C-alpha cells in the first residue's frame, strides 16, 4: 500500500452566502451563515477579508478570461500536486520510517507541478532484503520467521495456540453473544493465531447488546420495565398515563372534516384518540370533502375557518409553492443564450460552501421549514385563466400570502390565503407580474416578467436584512391536472423552475443606503462606501470600522467595511455572468449581474382577500 506524504495545500475562502437563522440568533462579522428573519427566507452574504495577497492569489483556472499561467503561480490549482513548494529531487525527500518494508519514491517534476515524495510498501516476497511483507511465509521469503518445528503436526505444542484448526480470518471468530467483540491475533502459519473475545460492559443504545447491570433507561437494548398504570409515567405499551382521554369529546381536534374517535381503555392506560376523514357531502357541517364541490353548501360559502367566502372573489385561481429549493449550477434558464443554463449563485455555493461549513441542502431545508410552518407563503395568482384547457394567454402575479386556519400547504389543494398589502404598488398593481404567460395544450405553464417587475429577495448581511430585487424573472412548470380544479382547488404545479438575475448596481446601492443610514460607528468621508458602476464599481478610501462595537448593527457595519474590496473585486469575478443592458447575449467582460435559479412545486390555492 502506498502512503502519500502530506503536502501543504492552500485553500482560498472568498465569500459566503449562508443559510437562514431563526429568531434569537446574534449577528457576527466573523463566520458566515445562510439565515432567515422571523418571516422570510434569507441568504447571508458574509465576506472573508483575511485573504492572502489581498485576495489576489485566486485559482487562475476559475478566473474567467485570465491569462495567468497555472503551474508556477504559487497556487495549487486543479490537477496540480504542488506549486512553488515542490520537492526538487529525491534528495529532499524525508527518509522512510525504520521499517525494511517501506521505501521512499520520488516522482513527477517541479516544472509540471506534480513532484511528490511517497512511501511505497513492499508487497513482493523476496529473500534477503530485510523485509517480510504481510502474507508471505518462510518458504517464500527467507526474511520471514520460520514456523515452530512441530507446527502442522495437529498437536498444540508449547508456544502454540492452535495446530491444524487455526483461525485464518476474522470470519472464523464468531462471538457467542451480542455483548462480545472478537479480534484475530497471531499468525495461522506460525500456529499462534487465536480469537480474542472482549466483553462489552458499557451501556450503549442500539448496539444490540445489554451489558450486565444496565437498565432500559440507560440502554435501549435492555428489556423495558413492566408498565405501571397510574404512576403518571408512560411505560412499555402504554398509550397514556394520568392524562388518558375518557370520551370522544376529549378527542375533538377542532377539524370539521374529521370524525373523532377514541380507542383503548383509559383504566388500562391504552386509550388514544384517532380520527377518520369525512367523506359524505353534508351541508352545514362545516366541511367540504373532496369531490363535493357544487353539492355541499360548505364548499361554496365557508373557508377552512368557517368564514364566509365571496361568491365571486376578485382574485384568479392560485398556486401555493410547497417546495422551493436553490438549484445547482445546472438549474436555471439560459438567460444569455450561450447554450448553457445560468445559476451563478448555486454554482458558487457548491464550489465554496463545503470549505465554509454550509451547503445548498442547509439553505433548502431551512426554507422548507418556513414553508411547512406557514411563515413563508409564496402565491402564484393565475389572473384571467378561465379553464384547464390550453392554449391560453394570461398573467401570473407573484404575491406574498398569509394562510388561514392552518400552516403547511395541503397538497390536495383548496388552500385558503389572504394577500399581504406589500405585494402591490401604491397604484394597486402587483409588484411582480409575469406577462404574457401561457398555458399550452401540453399542460405546461410559462411566463416572463414585465420590464418593470421586480422579485424581492431578502439577504441577511451579518444580521441586517438587505432587500434586493431580482429582475428578468422567468417561470416554467407542468400542470398537475389530478390536483387542479377551478375554482375550488386552484392550480397544482410540478417540475417548476424560477430564475432571473440580481444587478450588482442594485446590490451596491442597497449596501450604500445601509452604511449611510445606520453606520454611525464608521469613521470616514461623508460619501457612499462604493462607487456604483456595475462590475467596475470601486471602494472609496478612508473608511474605518475599528471603533464599531459589538452590537448587531455595529458588527454588520464592520463586515461591510472590512470586505468592501471583495464585494467589488473577487466576488464579481466568480459570480457575475449577466449583462443587464443586453441579458440575451453572452456578457464577456461586461458582466454586471448574478444569475439565480430555483426548483419548485406548488399545490392549488384560493385567494380570499388582501390583508389590511
Question: Rounded CA gap, 87 and 89, in Å?
Answer: 6
Q: The C-alpha cell of 122 is what? A: 513492499
Asked if 383 and 574 count as a contact pair (C-beta separation under 8 A), the reply is no
> How far apart, in Å, are the Cα atoms of 112 and each of 83, 93, 94, 108, 549?
9, 18, 21, 7, 49
Is 296 a domain residue?
no
- pLDDT at residue number 552: 83
Residue 316 has pLDDT above 90, yes or no: no
Flag whether 470 is in a domain: yes
Confidence of residue 311 (pLDDT cuts 50, 70, 90): low
Predicted pLDDT at 294? 59
- Name which residue leads in pLDDT, 313 or 267: 267
Distances in whole angstroms, Cα of residue 152 to Cα of each of 146, 166, 183, 362, 529: 13, 10, 23, 61, 85
| pLDDT for the residue 67 | 47
Q: What would the pLDDT profile of 317-337 be if each residue is shown by its tens digit?
A: 899 999 999 999 999 999 999
SS3 415: strand
Q: Does some domain include residue 560? A: yes
What does the pLDDT read at residue 357? 55
Helix axes 552-562, 504-518, angle to 10 degrees: 130
Q: pLDDT class for 557, splitting at 50, 70, 90?
A: confident
* Residue 540 contacts residue 526 (beta carbons within 8 Å): no
Name the domain count of the chain.
2
Cell digits for 441?
A: 395544450
Give pLDDT tens digits for 41-100. 333 333 343 434 444 443 434 334 444 458 999 899 988 999 988 998 888 888 887 777
Q: Which residues constitute the domain of residue 533? A: 507-590
User: What is the pLDDT, as a whole number, of residue 39?
Assistant: 36
User: What's the pLDDT score for residue 14?
Assistant: 24
Instruction: Please report which confidence band the pLDDT of residue 176 belongs to, taking 50, 70 and 90 as the band edges.
Output: confident
Please indicate, yes or no, if residue 225 is contained in any of the structural domains. no
Pairing of strands 593-611, 116-121: unpaired
As a whole number of angstroms, the distance between CA 403 and CA 379 comes to 10
Residue 147 grid coordinates: 514456523
Q: Evaluate whether residue 364 is within a structural domain.
A: yes
Rounded to whole angstroms, the Cα distance separating 171 from 186 reads 15
Domain co-membership, 580 together with 599: no
For residue 459, the model assigns a pLDDT of: 62
Same structural domain, 479 and 516: no
> pLDDT digit string (tens) for 213-258?
998 878 989 988 788 899 998 887 889 999 999 998 899 988 888 9
Q: If pLDDT is split at 50, 70 and 90, which confidence band does 396 have? A: very high
Q: Are residues 350 and 497 in the same domain?
A: yes
Top mean-pLDDT range of 118-127, 309-318, 467-476, 565-574: 467-476
CA–CA separation, 191 vs 203, rounded Å? 36
Residue 463 in domain:
yes
pLDDT for 319 equals 95
Q: Is residue 385 domain-shared with residue 459, that is, in the same domain? A: yes
∠ CA 573-576-581, nearest 5°, is 135
Q: Which pLDDT belongs to residue 353?
A: 67
Query: What are 334-382's pLDDT values in tens digits?
Result: 999 989 998 888 888 888 766 545 688 888 888 898 899 888 899 999 9
- pLDDT band at 293; cut points 50, 70, 90: low
Please check whether residues 486 and 533 belong to one and the same domain. Answer: no
Residue 371 shares a structural domain with residue 485: yes
Mean pLDDT of the chain: 80
Are residues 395 and 380 part of one domain? Answer: yes
Q: How far apart are CA 173 and CA 157, in angstroms?
A: 22
| Residues 556 and 409 reside in one and the same domain | no
Q: Are residues 566 and 442 in the same domain?
A: no
30 in a structural domain = no
Looking at residues 309-315, what average pLDDT do you find?
60
Statement to judge: residues 422 and 571 lie in one domain: no
The verdict on residue 136 lying in a domain is no
For 350, the grid coordinates are 457548491
Whether 338 and 464 map to the same domain: the answer is: yes
Strand segments (E) across 180-271: 180-185, 194-199, 258-263
The string of pLDDT tens digits covering residues 582-604 is 999 998 888 899 999 999 999 99
Extended strands (E) in 264-317: 272-277
Residues 471 and 330 placed together within one structural domain of the fold: yes
Amino acid at each position: 500500500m502506498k502512503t502519500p506524504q502530506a503536502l501543504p495545500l492552500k485553500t482560498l475562502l472568498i465569500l459566503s452566502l449562508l443559510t437562514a437563522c431563526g429568531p434569537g440568533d446574534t449577528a457576527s462579522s466573523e463566520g458566515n451563515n445562510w439565515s432567515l428573519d422571523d418571516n422570510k427566507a434569507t441568504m447571508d452574504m458574509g465576506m472573508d477579508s483575511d485573504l492572502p495577497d489581498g485576495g489576489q492569489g485566486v485559482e487562475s483556472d476559475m478566473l474567467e478570461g485570465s491569462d495567468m499561467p497555472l503551474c508556477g503561480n504559487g497556487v495549487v490549482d486543479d490537477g496540480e500536486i504542488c506549486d512553488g513548494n515542490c520537492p526538487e529531487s529525491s534528495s529532499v525527500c524525508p527518509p522512510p520510517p525504520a521499517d525494511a518494508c517501506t521505501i521512499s519514491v520520488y516522482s513527477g517534476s517541479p516544472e509540471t507541478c506534480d513532484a511528490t515524495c511517497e512511501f511505497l510498501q513492499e508487497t513482493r516476497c523476496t529473500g534477503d532484503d530485510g523485509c517480510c511483507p504481510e502474507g508471505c511465509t518462510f518458504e517464500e521469503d527467507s526474511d520471514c520467521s520460520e514456523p515452530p518445528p512441530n507446527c502442522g503436526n495437529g498437536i498444540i505444542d508449547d508456544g502454540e495456540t492452535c495446530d491444524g484448526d487455526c483461525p485464518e480470518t476474522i470470519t472464523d471468530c464468531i462471538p457467542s453473544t451480542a455483548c462480545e467483540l472478537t479480534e484475530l491475533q497471531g499468525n495461522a502459519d506460525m500456529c499462534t493465531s487465536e480469537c480474542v473475545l472482549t466483553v462489552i460492559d458499557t451501556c450503549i443504545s442500539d448496539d444490540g447488546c445489554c451489558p450486565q447491570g444496565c437498565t432500559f433507561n440507560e440502554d435501549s437494548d435492555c428489556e423495558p420495565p413492566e408498565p405501571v398504570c397510574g404512576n403518571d409515567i408512560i411505560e412499555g405499551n402504554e398509550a397514556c398515563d394520568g392524562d388518558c382521554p375518557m370520551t370522544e369529546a376529549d378527542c375533538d381536534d377542532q377539524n370539521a372534516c374529521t370524525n373523532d374517535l377514541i380507542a383503548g381503555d383509559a383504566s388500562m392506560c391504552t386509550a388514544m384518540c384517532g380520527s377518520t376523514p369525512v367523506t359524505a357531502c353534508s351541508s352545514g357541517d362545516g366541511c367540504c370533502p373532496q369531490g363535493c364541490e357544487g353539492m355541499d353548501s360548505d364548499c361554496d360559502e365557508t373557508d377552512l375557518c368557517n368564514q364566509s367566502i365571496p361568491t365571486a372573489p376578485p382574485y384568479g385561481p392560485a398556486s401555493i409553492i410547497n417546495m422551493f429549493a436553490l438549484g445547482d449550477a445546472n438549474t436555471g434558464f439560459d438567460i444569455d443564450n450561450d447554450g448553457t443554463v445560468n445559476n451563478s449563485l448555486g454554482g458558487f455555493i457548491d464550489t465554496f460552501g463545503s470549505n465554509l461549513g454550509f451547503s445548498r441542502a442547509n439553505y433548502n431545508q431551512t426554507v422548507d421549514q418556513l414553508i411547512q410552518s406557514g411563515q413563508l407563503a409564496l402565491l402564484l395568482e393565475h389572473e384571467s385563466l378561465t379553464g384547464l384547457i390550453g392554449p391560453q394567454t394570461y398573467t401570473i402575479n407573484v404575491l406574498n400570502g398569509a394562510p388561514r386556519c392552518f400552516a403547511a400547504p395541503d397538497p390536495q389543494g383548496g388552500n385558503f390565503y389572504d394577500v399581504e398589502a406589500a405585494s402591490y404598488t401604491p397604484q394597486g398593481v402587483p409588484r411582480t407580474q409575469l406577462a404574457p404567460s401561457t398555458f399550452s395544450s401540453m399542460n405546461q405553464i410559462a411566463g416572463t416578467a414585465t420590464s418593470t417587475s421586480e422579485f424581492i429577495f431578502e439577504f441577511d448581511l451579518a444580521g441586517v436584512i438587505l432587500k434586493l430585487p431580482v429582475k428578468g424573472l422567468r417561470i416554467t412548470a407542468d400542470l398537475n391536472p389530478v390536483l387542479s380544479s377551478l375554482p375550488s382547488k386552484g392550480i397544482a404545479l410540478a417540475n417548476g423552475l424560477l430564475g432571473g438575475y440580481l444587478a450588482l448596481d442594485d446590490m451596491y446601492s442597497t449596501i450604500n443606503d445601509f452604511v449611510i443610514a445606520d453606520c454611525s460607528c464608521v469613521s470616514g468621508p461623508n460619501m457612499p462606501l462604493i462607487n456604483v458602476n456595475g462590475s467596475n464599481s470601486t471602494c472609496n478610501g478612508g473608511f474605518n470600522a475599528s471603533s464599531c462595537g459589538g452590537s448587531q448593527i455595529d458588527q454588520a457595519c464592520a463586515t461591510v467595511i472590512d470586505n468592501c474590496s471583495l464585494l467589488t473585486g473577487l466576488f464579481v469575478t466568480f459570480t457575475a455572468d449577466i449583462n443587464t443592458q443586453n441579458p440575451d447575449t453572452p456578457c464577456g467582460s461586461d458582466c454586471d449581474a448574478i444569475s439565480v435559479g430555483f426548483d419548485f412545486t406548488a399545490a392549488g390555492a384560493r385567494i380570499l382577500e388582501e390583508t389590511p
